[in-house]
């Protein structure tokens, strides 16, 4: 099956300003969403897609206001349904570049079903999940990603819900692209979003985002400058998995699980360090990488990026085949097919 | 047989009943198709259980298919003239649908001790009283079929599947029809399995010849009059669900908008999706969604992107779609929602018919959320109402709910094939690229419809969504603006009344009683009123297809009559709706909520009691 591209490229050189709308941005000052918006606006010019062919679809929540702030076509829909609506947009017109923006509650609680099925189908959508581990717009209830035991307004004695890890959800749904980034590292965010846009099929970018009003510093244990280099690892395709201030630490697979080793200690050399292959079809290693946390650094960057024919292509191939070779050329043919008779 | 034995009749009702796996639906369809092809008018009514194969030989597993053939057929008929019962359970549960004196064909081989017990019989079912009341034909269907199978060397399992052909052969004899149409069908259907064709044809023929040898029924042969009043044209047989699907296809072709259907399987609406899924060559973009909500949401997304977007469902699915319907109202996007109604509430009676989703269609959303509601009234006119629903959605920029029901959807009728070019024009309200004056909620001064600006169009980038907007497009929580937008959305739907035809009244113009119906009950109601008029009774009848808005002359009609009876298969939902609009009109209800269509007899009894 030959690979097809459905979204036409333009020669127009856009800038960030071309995609910035005239609407006042109404997020709280200091909210991580500002940085994510900025990264997104920086990404669009790099995709070389005509503004008119970009559609932003969102659900409900703080992050879902984003279509108002991007000067493209936009649909601020209802809670949880962004993936389903975006699927319809793309199926009706595959020439559109369709972006979905959702929060953690929107995408994984009320909209969980639509998310996993969009991923399973490998529907050609660029999905961004703003993960602040809380319901912000309704003022501080626990979400499906809130840390176990956390006290929130609806869990005054601590949550007893085990949280989702969005990356694992993506892998479990046979996802073909998953990246993770931090709101406070906009350059990385733009970089993975650009990769996500290039990916044919469903791409999911999880942005660890801070809600300074209702869940401030929820990601601080990995995002604070003082610890970030030791608590996170930015994965790069084809390169050894190194991290730490001086890239002195690395990840090794010890036959049973991943472990952190230091180069030069206990005879560890660079050759012992695992090399990241984002395109490994098997989800095993990617699942382990997405799962990391605790004693292991949280994985950032593109964790998984494999080629698999997209839903759009499979759909359009069938449509084209039938349009060319199908039995009926017009509805009159159909109406008069089979047993008919004259009165 | 000699010709003088044959009785001529205007119409005949035949009911095929057997175990769910006995092929009763197929026998019924083959008979109705053959009848239609030989010049009869027809209507069919499948009556089957929700279970695919309920326990063998139990009453719960009985599947029925009623066929009404004749010269001018409105409905699938009340009680049957001929009943085929393929086992004791079918005989037990279906005999109540047979007229007194009916011919009842039973497969005597199935009346074993075990099967009788499973059907709940303690004694011999064939009492002298019963034998006097009906002409019961004890036919050795299974053993004859098995004998032919054995002769042809076919295994028993395959052979048993052909028992229905034996019964069908007998019916063809009893209705003085030839077998050639059905031979042709079998040859087509099993083109790759010549053994199966040979067996089926042999069993069918054997059934026919068996009947010929049976003196008992020679006085029972009926030749049904050919349809005479049918307008000239090319005809075919069609079910309501297929007609609905084709109506949407025609609207797509005529409007130039791609057809998109986002749906989730649900009885009895699934066949709309099944049918459209076949027609990618006609541009039908069908998406089987992960749930009902995704079905409608994908359609709303497709509508935003410029498709003629549809979703098909039944009652419980419509409940799930409620929130998204509100979104379609708020975004003022064209959308067709087909609700093939079934018995409710909740899972209710999935395979039975009802009209109890009307209130849900009219009101089942949060906020002030008006939309257009129309209802089909025959299996064949599902085509026109699906087409009309699409036309209204595209021209008035609003969601439209089309109500059909299980009776219309699964039932079939003759359909006069139109030419797509002869159907009314459909003009979608597309915006003009780079129009400097484009505003998302700028309205047409006549219809109040907004313009449809599609992603990809230059210079018209805008945002829609569930939050209240001002006419220029941006969000607004301004109190006056909300009032204005609520009023405008309502006015847009109200003004649809300017674009639909006047309501008509049939029957006696000076009637003492006006019968009011809507949707799928029109067959039985029409016939009841027609028969009463013939008997000299002063009864008039008006049938509604446009439900919201109502035709403009509705009040004028209702105010003309002293007695009005609103008949519907629910507890009075349309009556309640009419009363809120025309409180001055004296209206009473005739309701039935049994999962079954109206019978002409019960309607006439009630109307007669009203005119006294």
ipTM: 0.97
Beta A249-253 vs A258-262: how paired, if at all? antiparallel
Task: Assign 3-class secondary structure to B221-272.
Answer: CEEECCCCCCCCCEEEEEEHHHHHHHHHHHHHHHHCCCEEEEECCCCCCHHH
| pLDDT over 60 (residue B150) | yes
- A&B contacts, CB < 8 Å: 206
| pLDDT over 60 (residue A1) | no
pLDDT tens digit string along B72-92? 898 999 999 999 999 999 999
| pLDDT over 80 (residue B330) | yes
CATH of domain A16-218+310-331: 3.40.50.970
| pLDDT over 90 (residue B116) | yes
When scoring A53, A92, A123 by the number of chain B Cβ atoms within 10 A, the one with the most, hence best to mutate, is A92
| pLDDT over 70 (residue A94) | yes
Specify the range with the lowest mean pLDDT, choosing from A72-86, A101-115, B66-80: B66-80
Count CB neighbours of B5 within 10 A: 12
Question: Is A110 in the B-facing interface, judged by CB distances under 8 Å?
Answer: no
pLDDT tens digit string along B400-445? 999 999 999 999 999 999 999 999 999 999 999 999 999 999 999 9
Residue of B583, B539, B590, B576 lying closest to B558 (CA atoms): B583
| pLDDT over 80 (residue B566) | yes
| pLDDT over 90 (residue A16) | yes
| pLDDT over 70 (residue B1) | no
Specify the range with the lowest mean pLDDT, choosing from A60-64, A261-265, B216-220: B216-220
Which of B249, B301, B457 has the CB atom closest to A85's CB atom?
B301
Question: Is A280 in the B-facing interface, judged by CB distances under 8 Å?
Answer: no
Domains in chain B: ranges and CATH:
3-224 (3.40.920.10), 236-422 (3.40.50.970), 506-611 (3.40.50.920)
| pLDDT over 80 (residue B10) | yes
Write down the pTM of the prediction.
Answer: 0.95
Position A343 scores a pLDDT of 82
Position B6 scores a pLDDT of 86
| Inter-CA distances, A204 with A4, A107, A298, Å | 21, 11, 17
Instruction: Give the 3-state secondary structure of residue B324.
Output: helix
When scoring A100, A106, A334, A336 by the number of chain B Cβ atoms within 10 A, the one with the most, hence best to mutate, is A334
Question: Is A266 in the B-facing interface, judged by CB distances under 8 Å?
Answer: no
| pLDDT over 70 (residue B486) | yes
Which of B253, B279, B304 has the CB atom closest to A75's CB atom?
B304
Residues A91, B465: C-beta atoms closer than 8 Å: no
The first and second tokens of residue B459, run together, are: 């210079």
Residues A55, B455: C-beta atoms closer than 8 Å: yes
- Segment B488-498 shows an average pLDDT of 98
**Contact by Cβ (8 Å): B326, B353:** no
Count CB neighbours of B436 within 10 A: 6
- Segment A154-176 shows an average pLDDT of 98
| pLDDT over 80 (residue B205) | yes
> What value does the mean pLDDT of chain B take?
95
The single-letter DSSP state of residue B475 is B
- Segment B169-178 shows an average pLDDT of 94
Q: What DSSP letter does each residue of B178-226 carry, written as one string?
A: -SHHHHHHHHHHTTT-HHHHHHHHHHHHHHHHHHHT-GGGGGG-EEEPP
Count CB neighbours of A320 within 10 A: 12
- Segment B581-595 shows an average pLDDT of 97
- Segment A215-222 shows an average pLDDT of 95
Beta A341-342 vs B135-139: how paired, if at all? unpaired
The single-letter DSSP state of residue B282 is G
Domain locations in chain A as residue ranges: 16-218+310-331
pLDDT tens digit string along B121-146? 999 999 999 999 999 999 999 999 99
- Segment B492-515 shows an average pLDDT of 94
Position B172 scores a pLDDT of 96
Cis peptide before B268 (omega within 30 of 0): yes
The residues, any chain, with a CB within 8 Å of residue B153's CB and separated by 6 or more, are none
Give B-chain residues touching A325 at CB under 8 angstroms: 281
Which of B234, B262, B467 has the CB atom closest to A342's CB atom?
B234
| pLDDT over 80 (residue B3) | no
Cis peptide before B302 (omega within 30 of 0): no
- Segment B344-355 shows an average pLDDT of 95
When scoring B455, B457, B473 by the number of chain A Cβ atoms within 10 A, the one with the most, hence best to mutate, is B455
The first and second tokens of residue A112, run together, are: 């969980």
- Segment A142-166 shows an average pLDDT of 98
> How far is the C-alpha of B126 from the C-alpha of B111, rounded, in Å?
10
Position B46 scores a pLDDT of 87
């Amino acid at each position: 099956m030959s690979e097809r591209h459905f979204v036409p490229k333009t020669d127009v050189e856009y800038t960030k300003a071309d995609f910035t709308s005239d609407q006042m941005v109404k997020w709280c000052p200091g909210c991580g969403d500002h940085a994510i918006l900025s990264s997104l606006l920086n990404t669009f010019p790099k995709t070389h897609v005509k503004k008119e062919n970009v559609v932003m679809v969102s659900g409900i929540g703080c992050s879902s206001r984003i279509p108002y702030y991007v000067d493209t076509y936009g649909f601020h829909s209802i809670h949880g349904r962004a993936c389903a609506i975006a699927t319809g947009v793309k199926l009706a017109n595959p020439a559109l570049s369709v972006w979905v923006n959702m929060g953690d509650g929107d995408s994984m609680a009320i909209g969980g079903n639509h998310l996993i099925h969009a991923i399973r189908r490998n529907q050609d959508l660029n999905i961004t999940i703003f993960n602040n581990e809380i319901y912000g717009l309704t003022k501080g209830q626990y979400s499906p990603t809130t840390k176990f035991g956390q006290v929130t307004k609806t869990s005054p004695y601590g949550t007893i819900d085990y949280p989702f890890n969005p990356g694992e959800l993506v892998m479990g749904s046979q996802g073909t692209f998953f990246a993770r980034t931090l709101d406070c590292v906009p350059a990385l965010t733009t970089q993975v979003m650009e990769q996500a846009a290039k990916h044919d099929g469903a791409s999911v970018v999880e942005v660890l985002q801070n809600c300074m009003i209702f869940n401030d510093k929820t990601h601080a244990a990995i995002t604070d400058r003082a610890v970030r280099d030791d608590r996170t690892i930015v994965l790069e395709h084809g390169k050894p998995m190194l991290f730490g201030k001086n890239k002195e630490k690395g990840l090794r697979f010890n036959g049973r699980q991943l472990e952190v080793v230091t180069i030069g200690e206990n005879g560890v050399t660079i050759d012992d360090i695992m090399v990241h292959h984002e395109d490994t079809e098997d989800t095993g290693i990617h699942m382990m990488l997405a799962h990391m946390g605790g004693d292991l650094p949280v994985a950032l960057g593109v964790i998984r990026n494999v080629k698999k024919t997209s839903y759009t292509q499979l759909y359009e191939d069938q449509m084209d085949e039938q349009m060319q070779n199908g039995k009926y050329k017009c509805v009159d043919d159909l109406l008069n097919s089979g047993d008919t008779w004259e009165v | 047989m000699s010709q003088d034995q044959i009785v001529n009749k205007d119409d005949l009702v035949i009911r095929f009943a057997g175990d769910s796996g006995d092929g009763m639906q197929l026998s019924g369809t083959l008979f109705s198709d053959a009848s239609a092809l030989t010049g009869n008018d027809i209507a069919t009514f499948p009556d089957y259980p929700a279970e695919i194969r309920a326990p063998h030989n139990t009453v719960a597993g009985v599947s029925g298919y009623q066929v009404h053939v004749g010269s001018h057929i409105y409905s699938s008929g009340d009680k049957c003239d001929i009943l085929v019962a393929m086992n004791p359970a079918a005989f037990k549960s279906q005999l109540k649908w047979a007229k007194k004196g009916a011919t009842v064909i039973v497969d005597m081989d199935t009346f074993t001790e075990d099967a009788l017990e499973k059907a709940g019989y303690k004694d011999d079912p064939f009492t002298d009283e019963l034998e006097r009341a009906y002409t019961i034909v004890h036919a050795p269907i299974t053993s004859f079929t098995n004998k032919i199978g054995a002769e042809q060397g076919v295994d028993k399992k395959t052979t048993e599947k052909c028992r229905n052909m034996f019964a069908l052969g007998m019916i063809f004899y009893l209705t003085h029809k030839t077998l050639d149409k059905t031979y042709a069908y079998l040859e087509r259907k099993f083109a790759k399995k010549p053994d199966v064709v040979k067996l089926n044809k042999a069993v069918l023929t054997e059934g026919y010849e068996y009947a010929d040898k049976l003196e008992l029924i020679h006085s029972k042969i009926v030749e049904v009059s050919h349809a005479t009043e049918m307008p000239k044209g090319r005809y075919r047989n069609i079910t309501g669900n297929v007609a609905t699907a084709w109506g949407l296809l025609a609207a797509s072709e005529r409007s130039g908008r791609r057809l998109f259907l986002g749906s989730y399987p649900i009885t009895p609406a699934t066949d709309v999706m099944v049918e459209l899924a076949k027609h990618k060559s006609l541009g039908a973009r069908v998406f089987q969604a992960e749930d009902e909500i995704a079905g409608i949401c994908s359609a709303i997304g497709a509508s935003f992107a410029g498709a003629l977007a549809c979703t098909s469902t039944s009652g419980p699915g419509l409940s799930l779609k409620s929130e998204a319907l509100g979104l379609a109202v708020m975004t003022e996007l064209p959308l067709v929602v087909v609700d093939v109604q079934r018995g409710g509430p909740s899972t209710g009676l999935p395979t039975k018919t009802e009209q109890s989703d009307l209130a849900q269609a009219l009101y089942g959303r949060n906020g002030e959320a008006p939309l257009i509601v129309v209802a089909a009234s025959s299996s064949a006119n599902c085509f026109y109402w699906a087409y009309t629903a699409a036309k209204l959605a595209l021209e008035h920029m609003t969601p439209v709910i089309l109500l059909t029901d299980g009776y219309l959807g699964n039932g079939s009728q003759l359909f006069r094939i139109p030419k797509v070019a002869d159907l009314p024009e459909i003009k979608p309200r597309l915006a003009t690229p780079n129009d400097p004056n484009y505003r998302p909620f700028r309205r047409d001064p006549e219809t109040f419809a907004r313009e449809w600006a599609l992603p990809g169009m230059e210079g018209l980038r805008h945002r829609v969504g569930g939050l209240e907007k001002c006419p220029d497009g941006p969000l607004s929580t301004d109190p006056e603006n909300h009032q204005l937008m609520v009023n405008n959305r309502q006015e847009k739907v109200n003004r649809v009344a300017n674009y639909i035809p006047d309501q008509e009244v049939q029957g006696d113009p000076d009637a003492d009683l006006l019968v009011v119906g809507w949707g799928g009950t029109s067959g039985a109601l029409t016939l009841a009123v027609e028969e009463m008029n013939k008997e000299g009774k002063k009864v008039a009848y008006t049938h509604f297809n446009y439900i919201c808005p109502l035709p403009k002359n509705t009040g004028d009609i209702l105010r003309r009559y002293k007695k009005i009876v609103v008949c519907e298969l629910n507890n009075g939902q349309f009556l309640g709706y009419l009363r809120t609009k025309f409180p001055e009109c004296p209206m009473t209800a005739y309701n039935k909520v049994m999962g079954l269509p109206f019978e002409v007899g019960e309607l006439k009894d009630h109307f007669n009691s009203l005119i006294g």
